Structure 1
């Protein structure tokens, strides 16, 4: 009995050993799993497009048309017909002046009138005498010339008086809003006294200063964005200074505003203008650009290899950079990042990996 049990145990051991050998043989016949070690990258060809950079500026609102009103005759102000802030029309009376010069001119006109009437009567007396042969031709011509000369002198005196009389009423040269009133009744004014300033309120412009770089990208007719207290306006450049303003060190620029509701003269506004621009140029994503010793370069995909390619970059915004040279239109610029991405590294294009997965 004991002998039979021993034989069974030995048989089991033999079977286990044979099974182990068979498992190792089968295991050795299986193909080992393969793992992709190349970094996967995305690539795209350069694109043609525009890059426009903007700069924020500050400007001052001012009337497009403004007139400083000064009287054309000196004297005492009798009446003032306006207040600061009033809307006035061109030709509207603003104030009345009493001038001593006008009194003198009136006396001169009246004296000239008397002389003209007397000369005309004398000519009227001589003319029939000359016709009847009782006066000489010389007397008749002297009387005629005297009458004509006196008439002209009177007309000149009357014209001067009428002109100065007109000047005693100071009128608005343009329609608009009175910005300032600098005169009161009984003040004495001269021809150099600024009695008020009128601005054409429906036509305003914004004056601002720009650097030489910004000026080189501005042209008459360009549009600038204007903002004031959350309200946006559109302006059009009308004037660009050719000399630097010594007080600011900038070039003066003016832009007219089409719709000026809410913009008052003298207020400050924010403007946005073109700082620099490149149109119709080759561009690549900014994130694809690397730098070595300050020089830009990209990696290009070529037959499964990442190739370091130096480029000459231009301006750039938050998305894309201008490429002036170094790339071809069909270059495949690697746009994804990997710490294994170096010059000459074997890489797997994302599209190829997707096709392999399918």
Structure 2
């Protein structure tokens, strides 16, 4: 009997010593992390291509052989700077001819002015002749009346009266001639005046033709439409230019323009002049901060997206048109709040939980979440900074499971 008691006691002691070791061997290995505080943003991610602020293909306005090219790809140009010259021999000859036509038209006007003044002088002389003839005719008429009485009384002879009548008839003839001269002089004045008007119209026409040829001559010089950089050249010296074919492409890339597409349900979340945006350009390994400058008022009927325009300064011209940009519109920001990795959350029946490690055991705790980004989640309630939670290995953990931390995320 005493031997059985001894064996039982030995087994009991051995079992009690092995239990902790067996329990430890059943602990679930997990990765753990501590809840930290930080800044997190609610954002909309999209992508777009970089566009120049201004970009045009420069066409010549005149056709002809290219005699000079002054710029090349990469040249920085100013507005109205000369880019290329087209042969202008024909335009110069036409311009000289048009200048001569203007000179002739001006001389014709001056000649007509002299003729007009001469006609006016002739008119004045003719009017003076009418006055003289009219005065003489009136005097002779009065004299005739007296002589008629004297002739009846026998005081003058018939010959004297006939001589007076001859003078009177001559005076009438001179008066008629003088009036005719006045009428002709009036016609001459009116004709000279009308001719001056015609010559002035011819001058206007000649000057308009001269201006048109001047524009055609100026158009043989191809100029930059705005400040920018030449990004393409399509012709060489000696080639034939025509308005249908561009010679250069010029772009203004400081600043640049980015137009991003955003799905229609999110477009109202972005505000012109207010919503910040982070622009990542992987090609040059740079990130830029900017603001949404313009939210377009319409939605594309096919893609069901709206457009947002951002103007980005580019003083060093590192950003090139055509680059690929990743954009993140930051809708709102939480600062100095508890943050955990998205992988540490468990979602069940619309609620969120984490496993907190307390005394080497997993304790499931409900949490309320806020902003969620690609990898992190804001914790509004349920966790405090510094608490240790299970970051990975959740699929093997249950409420109260004993766990063994094999690696801490904070140590990695």
Fold in common (TM above 0.5): yes
Pairing 1:125-274 to 2, within 5 Å after superposition: 125-133=115-123, 135-136=185-186, 137-221=189-273, 222-229=276-283, 231-236=285-290, 237-244=292-299, 250-261=305-316, 263-274=318-329
Deviation at residue 309 of structure 1 after TM alignment: 11
Q: 1:94 Cα deviation (Å)?
A: 1.1
Q: Deviations over 1:16-45 (max 9, x none)?
A: xxxxxxxxxxxxxxxxxxxxxxxxxxxxxx
Count residues in correspondence: 284
Residue 103 of structure 1, CA deviation: 4.8
Matches within 5 A, 1:319-338: 320-321=377-378
For residues 143 and 87 of structure 1, do their structure 2 counterparts lie closer, same or farther at Cα, with a shift above 3 Å needed?
same
CA distance in 2, matches of 1:261, 1:248: 35
**Contact 2:82–2:221 (Cα < 8 Å) also in 1:** yes
- 1:264-310, CA deviations, whole angstroms, 9 ceiling, x for partnerless residues? 42343443413764769x999789975443445799xxxxxxxx999
What is the match of residue 372 of structure 2?
Answer: 316
Contact residue 217 and residue 275 of structure 1 kept, 8 A = no
Shift of residue 254, structure 1, vs aligned partner: 2.9
Distance 2:379 2:250 in 1: 50
Relative to structure 2, which stretch is displaced further, 136-145 or 83-92?
A: 136-145
TM-score by length of structure 1 reads 0.61
Q: Distance in 2 between matches of 1:230 and 1:94?
A: 31
1:85 is paired with a residue of what secondary structure? coil
Counterpart in 2 of 1:68?
57
Pairing partner for 1:293 from 346, 349, 371 = 349
Structure that is richer in helix per residue? 2
What secondary structure does 1:200 align onto?
strand
Contact 1:204 1:260 in 2 (8 A): no
**Structure 2: tracts of 5 or more residues without a match:** 1-37, 126-184, 356-363, 390-396, 401-412
Aligned partner of 1:93 among 76, 82, 94: 82
Provide the aligned C-alpha RMSD in A.
4.4
SS in 2 for 1:90: coil
Q: 1:114 aligns with which of 91, 104, 128?
A: 104
CA distance in 2, matches of 1:285, 1:84: 51
* Change beyond 3 A, Cα 1:284–1:187: closer
Change over 3 Å in CA distance of 1:146–1:270 after alignment to 2: closer
Instruction: Tell me, in whole angstroms, the C-alpha distance in 2 between the residues paired with 1:286 and 1:94.
Output: 58
Distance 1:52 1:95, change over 3 A: same
Give the Cα separation in 2 of the matches to 1:229 and 1:110: 61
CA distance, structure 1, for counterparts of residue 322 and residue 338 of structure 2: 41
Q: Check whether the contact 1:233–1:257 (CA below 8 A) recurs between aligned residues.
A: no
Compared CA separation, residues 50 and 217, structure 1 to 2 (3 A): farther
> In the TM superposition, what whole-angstrom CA distance separates every residue of 1:139-186 from its partner, at most 9, and x where no partner exists?
331233233223222222222222222222121121221111122233
Kindly state the Cα deviation for residue 230 of structure 1 after the two structures are TM-superposed: 5.8
Q: 1:339 to 1:201 in 2, by over 3 A?
A: closer
**1:226-258 per-position Cα deviation (integer Å, ceiling 9, x unaligned):** 233564242422233444557876444332223
Q: Is the contact made by 2:85 and 2:221 (CA closer than 8 Å) also made in structure 1?
A: yes
Query: In the TM superposition, what is the alpha-carbon distance from 1:212 to its structure 2 partner?
Result: 3.4
Say which structure, 1 or 2, has more relative contact order (CA 8 Å, 6+ apart).
Answer: 2
Asked which structure has the greater CA Rg, the reply is 2
Q: Which blocks of at least 5 consecutive residues in structure 1 are unaligned? A: 1-48, 300-307, 342-358
What's the CA shift string for 1:195-235, capped at 9, x where partnerless?
21212243223343333355343233323232335642424
